[in-house]
Structure 1
Amino acid sequence: MTGLDTDRTGTGPALLDGHLVVDRGTFRLDVRLRIAAGQVVALLGPNGAGKTTALRALAGLQPLAGGHVTLGGVDLDRPDRRRFVPPERRPIGVVFQDYLLFPHLSALDNVAFGPRRHGADRRTAREQAAGWLARVGLAEQAHRRPRQLSGGQAQRVALARALAVRPTLLLLDEPLAALDARTRLDTRAELHRHLHAHTGATLLVTHDPLDALVLADRLVIVEDGQVVQTGDAATVTARPRTDYVARLVGLNLYRGHAHGHTVQLGDAGRETFALSAVDRLDGDAFVVFRPAAVALHPHRPDGSPRNTWSATVVGIQRHGDNLRVQLDGPIAAVADLTPAAAAHLRLAPGQQVWAAVKATDTYAYPATAPPGT
Structure 2
Amino acid sequence: MTGLPASGPVLDAHLLVDRGAFRLDVPLRIGAGEVVALLGPNGAGKTTALRALAGLQPLTAGHVTLAGNDLDRPDRRLWTHTERRPIGVVFQDYLLFPHLSALDNVAFGPRRHGADRRTARRLAAGWLARVGLAEHARRRPRQLSGGQAQRVALARALAVDPVLLLLDEPLAALDARTRLDTRAELHRHLTAHPGATLLVTHDPLDALVLADRLVIIEDGRIVQEGDAATITARPRTDYVARLVGLNLYRGTAAGHAVQLGSGFALTAADALHGDAFVAFPPSAVALHLQRPDGSPRNTWQATVTGLQRHGDNLRVQLAGPIGVAADVTPAAAADLRLAPGQAVWAAVKAAETRAYPADAGPAPAEAQTR
* 1:335-369 C-alpha deviation (Å, 9 max, x unpaired): 00011111111111111111110111111111137
* 1:252-309 C-alpha deviation (Å, 9 max, x unpaired): 011111111111112x6x1111122xx2111111111110000111122221411011
Residue of structure 1 in register with 2:23 after alignment: 28
Give yes or no for the alignment of 1:110 onto 2:101: no
Counterpart residue type for residue 330 of structure 2: P
> Post-superposition shift, 1:186?
0.5
Give yes or no for the alignment of 1:274 onto 2:271: no
> Post-superposition shift, 1:4?
4.4
Written as runs of structure 1 = structure 2, the 5 A alignment for 1:1-373 is 1-2=1-2, 4=4, 13-266=8-261, 270-276=263-269, 279-368=270-359
Counterpart residue type for residue 271 of structure 1: F
Counterpart residue type for residue 213 of structure 1: L
User: 1:2 touches 1:199 (CA, 8 Å); kept in 2?
Assistant: no
Counterpart residue type for residue 43 of structure 2: G
Distance (Å, rounded) in 2 between the aligned partners of 1:50 and 1:360: 38
**Range with bigger deviation, 299-308 or 325-334:** 299-308
Gaps of 5+ in 2: 361-370
Distance (Å, rounded) in 2 between the aligned partners of 1:32 and 1:298: 50
Distance (Å, rounded) in 2 between the aligned partners of 1:5 and 1:150: 38
Counterpart residue type for residue 243 of structure 2: L
Distance (Å, rounded) in 2 between the aligned partners of 1:316 and 1:13: 50
User: 2:5 touches 2:67 (CA, 8 Å); kept in 1?
Assistant: no
User: 2:3 touches 2:67 (CA, 8 Å); kept in 1?
Assistant: no
> Post-superposition shift, 1:29?
1.0
Counterpart residue type for residue 22 of structure 2: F
> Partner of 2:10: helix, strand, or coil?
strand
TM normalised by structure 2 equals 0.95
Give the direction of change, closer, same or farther, for the CA distance of 1:314–1:112 in structure 2 (3 Å limit): same
**Range with bigger deviation, 132-141 or 297-306:** 297-306
> Post-superposition shift, 1:18?
1.0
> Partner of 2:198: helix, strand, or coil?
strand
> Partner of 1:273: helix, strand, or coil?
strand
Distance (Å, rounded) in 2 between the aligned partners of 1:3 and 1:189: 28
User: 2:252 touches 2:258 (CA, 8 Å); kept in 1?
Assistant: yes
* 1:21-65 C-alpha deviation (Å, 9 max, x unpaired): 111222111111110010000001111111111000000000011
* 1:115-138 C-alpha deviation (Å, 9 max, x unpaired): 100111100000010001111111
> Partner of 2:340: helix, strand, or coil?
coil
Residue of structure 2 in register with 1:9 after alignment: none
Counterpart residue type for residue 284 of structure 1: D
Distance (Å, rounded) in 2 between the aligned partners of 1:161 and 1:254: 45
Counterpart residue type for residue 328 of structure 1: A
User: 1:5 touches 1:38 (CA, 8 Å); kept in 2?
Assistant: no
The share of aligned pairs that are identical, in percent, is: 82
Counterpart residue type for residue 365 of structure 1: Y
Counterpart residue type for residue 326 of structure 1: Q
Distance (Å, rounded) in 1 between the aligned partners of 2:322 and 2:2: 52
Give the direction of change, closer, same or farther, for the CA distance of 1:32–1:3 in structure 2 (3 Å limit): closer
User: 2:4 touches 2:67 (CA, 8 Å); kept in 1?
Assistant: no
User: 1:219 touches 1:230 (CA, 8 Å); kept in 2?
Assistant: yes
> Partner of 2:151: helix, strand, or coil?
helix
User: 1:254 touches 1:288 (CA, 8 Å); kept in 2?
Assistant: yes
> Partner of 2:138: helix, strand, or coil?
coil
> Post-superposition shift, 1:3?
7.2
* 1:159-209 C-alpha deviation (Å, 9 max, x unpaired): 000000000000000000000101000000000000000000000000000
Counterpart residue type for residue 294 of structure 1: V
Distance (Å, rounded) in 1 between the aligned partners of 2:168 and 2:322: 37
